[in-house]
Structure 1
Amino acid sequence: MILQNQLVAQTAAYVQQALQHAEGGHDWWHIYRVWNNAKLIAATETVDLLTVELAALLHDIADSKFHGGDEEIGPQTAIQFLNSIQAPAEVTRHVGEIIRHMSFKNSLGSVHFHSPELAVVQDADRLDAIGAIGIARAFSYGGFKGREIHNPNIEPALHMSKEAYKASTAPTINHFYEKLLLLKDKMNTATGKQLAQQRHEFMEAYLQQFYAEWQGEV
């Protein structure tokens, strides 16, 4: 039986290599932060830590938005890798389901799967989407996609469907209202909710400063 820490180390090495040229908001360092967040949250929850760590490490191994919208390439890539290192079959299946269901866009449709481990990894990923890091990631991805920073003539689209969210090309500031400011109230765990509060308040303060500078008021 392969030791759990060996499975985690092999997975971390694989992901670091695979994502070495990824967009800055979805690179190895994003994975590293989510992995650390997940371990922090898991310490206060009753979960299988191996499943949590492997899912955190593999959750963006093939993000659909970088693969033509293919939502199966991520879980399938993760499952194929875990099979190759002889991870336990049930852990591998569970990790695949977590990756398949954890994204924000999937919460906009019907949710068909949940587990305590999904709750932890989802919270860990959402924490990295808000606060100072979340702001940096939003503008990194917006620049990668060639989007406007802000356009006062384009209103945020609230209550979007999953399809509309995936198709959006709105300015990055709109993304705060369409996703980032909504995440605080979507956290699953007590620890996740506590950590999200301060990061949420930081984003609100940032937006106040942003609009004041936009209007030349400060």
Structure 2
Amino acid sequence: MSSLESIIYKIKNRLKIAPDIYFKIASYVKDVLGLDTAGHGWLHIERVSRLAVKIALDEGGDLDILLLAALLHDIAILREIYEGVDHAEEGAKISRSILKDLGIPDDMIEKVIYAIKVHRFGANITPHTIEARILQDADRLDALGAVGVARAFSYGGFRKLPMYLPGEKPDVYDPFKLKSTLTHFYEKLLKLKDYMNTETARKIAEDRHRFIRIFLDRFLNEIEGTF
């Protein structure tokens, strides 16, 4: 049983949409993103979906809206990487077409689209729906902890960025301005725990944030030759 199948099996009695719809969307997303492209592939989508459901079971929210948004939230990430478009805005447009073709009700589509539009950290938006707040939390949690460290260097390698640059200073985070992977930790990842929307996510974030701090202390000691 795949991770997505296990998620759907766990909550199937609370879903209004047939499982086959989710599996069709998943198949499409896998084809578009690949397994683990730059830390934003299908494996990221599965982890975010699992985290989103975990948070929602504690915090509430419509599980259909949340799961649809989690599956589709990064559908345009490769267009951002290669073409410079905003993947949240473009992903919302692509997702609307997909969901309409699948016969998803219009009112549900609008809530899914909203969650996708506002999910990215760089937009600095506090959502007004619980589903969008949870999607933000789940996506941000996947950028923390051991997985977050691995994803940061995976993305850096994919974009041919240096691990670190002596003398480079952190600035205001800009997703379209590429810097070394180490600077990315200070501009974004170390800030994420303070931008969680739900209590459930805040608890998870504290532990994952501690791991990143431990990693950075060791990393800096090693590159400075003091460890």
TM-score (norm 2): 0.86
User: For this pair of structures, how many residues does the alignment match?
Assistant: 209
2:102 and 2:148 map into 1 onto residues whose CA distance is: 32
| Alpha-carbon contact 1:139-1:149 (below 8 Å) kept | yes
Mapped pair 1:176 → 2:185: yes
Q: In structure 2, the residue corresponding to 1:166 is in which secondary structure?
A: coil
2:192 and 2:35 map into 1 onto residues whose CA distance is: 28
Q: Which amino acid in 1 is paired with 2:169?
A: E
Partner of 1:69: 84
Partner of 2:216: 207
Deviation at 1:94, TM superposition (A): 1.2
Partner of 1:166: 175
Q: Residue deviations 1:78-99, cap 9 Å, x none?
A: 1111111111111111111111
Q: In structure 1, the residue corresponding to 2:103 is in which secondary structure?
A: coil
| Runs (5+) with no aligned partner, structure 1 | none
Q: Paired residue for 1:29, among 17, 32, 43?
A: 43
2:127 and 2:53 map into 1 onto residues whose CA distance is: 21
Mapped pair 1:156 → 2:165: no
Partner of 1:126: 140
Q: In structure 1, the residue corresponding to 2:34 is in which secondary structure?
A: coil
| Alpha-carbon contact 2:126-2:133 (below 8 Å) kept | no
1:194 and 1:97 map into 2 onto residues whose CA distance is: 26
Residues 128 and 58 of structure 1, relative CA distance in 2, 3 Å threshold? same
> Larger relative contact order (C-alpha < 8 A, sep ≥ 6)?
1
Q: Which amino acid in 1 is paired with 2:25?
A: T
| Runs (5+) with no aligned partner, structure 2 | 1-15
2:142 and 2:36 map into 1 onto residues whose CA distance is: 16
2:18 and 2:200 map into 1 onto residues whose CA distance is: 25
Mapped pair 1:188 → 2:201: no
Q: Which amino acid in 2 is paired with 1:10?
A: K
| Alpha-carbon contact 2:118-2:127 (below 8 Å) kept | yes
Partner of 2:110: 93
Deviation at 1:113, TM superposition (A): 4.6
TM-score (norm 1): 0.90
Q: Which amino acid in 2 is paired with 1:65?
A: E
Deviation at 1:11, TM superposition (A): 1.7
Mapped pair 1:217 → 2:226: yes
RMSD over equivalenced CA pairs, Å: 1.7
Partner of 2:11: none
Q: Which runs of 4+ in 1 moved over 3 A?
A: none
Deviation at 1:50, TM superposition (A): 0.1
2:66 and 2:139 map into 1 onto residues whose CA distance is: 12
| Alpha-carbon contact 2:36-2:43 (below 8 Å) kept | no
Identity %: 39
Q: In structure 1, the residue corresponding to 2:58 is in which secondary structure?
A: coil
Q: Residue deviations 1:103-159, cap 9 Å, x none?
A: 01111xxx38521000111111001011111111111111111111111211111x4
2:196 and 2:126 map into 1 onto residues whose CA distance is: 18
Deviation at 1:21, TM superposition (A): 6.3
Q: Residue deviations 1:38-90, cap 9 Å, x none?
A: 11001012211100000000000112522523223211111111111111111
